Amino acid sequence: MQGDAVLGSSFRRLIDYTSANRVDKYFLVYLVWLLAAAAWVWTLLISPQAMAGMLDVLGVHRFTISAIQRFGFVLLGLAWLVATLWTEHYLRTSVSKQRVVRSVVRVVIATIVIFIVTTLVQLSPVLVQLI
């Protein structure tokens, strides 16, 4: 009888540890998701200015630039929404598949790449003038 009690308490501790570990993983996943979504919002907000600067350097007519800016902002907003929802699903399912670290690293790398590309596009008029 006492052996069952010891086995039961050990099993309970294992479940408690696993639950706590799972809660920590979900906390990490949702923290990364929120930070990535916030970084993407910032990227979304500076993208119209970056596109306008790049198109101006390319010699596109100002009315065309205005139309591309407005339509591009809507498309980028939709892309942001889809990317945010997909990322949440991807990270959430990574917890059950035991691939949290790999998924978090992929999302962080994708966010950094998006940030760098947007920054380079924003700096493209300055870079063209330097060349």
pTM of the model: 0.69
Mean pLDDT within 107-118? 90
Q: pLDDT tens for residues 46-63?
A: 888 777 777 877 788 888
User: Model confidence at 68, in pLDDT bands (50, 70, 90)?
Assistant: confident
Q: Are 49 and 122 in contact (CB under 8 A)?
A: yes
Q: What is the mean pLDDT of residues 1-11?
A: 52
> What pLDDT does residue 76 have?
87
User: Alpha carbon 27 to chain centroid distance?
Assistant: 15
Q: Which pLDDT band, with edges at 50, 70 and 90, does 14 fall under?
A: very low
Q: At residue 18, does pLDDT exceed 60?
A: no
Task: Give the per-residue pLDDT at 11.
Answer: 45
Dihedral, 114, 116, 118, 120 alpha carbons, nearest 10: -150
8 pLDDT higher than 60: no
Residue holding tokens 């380079």? 120
The Cα–Cα gap between 123 and 14 comes to 53
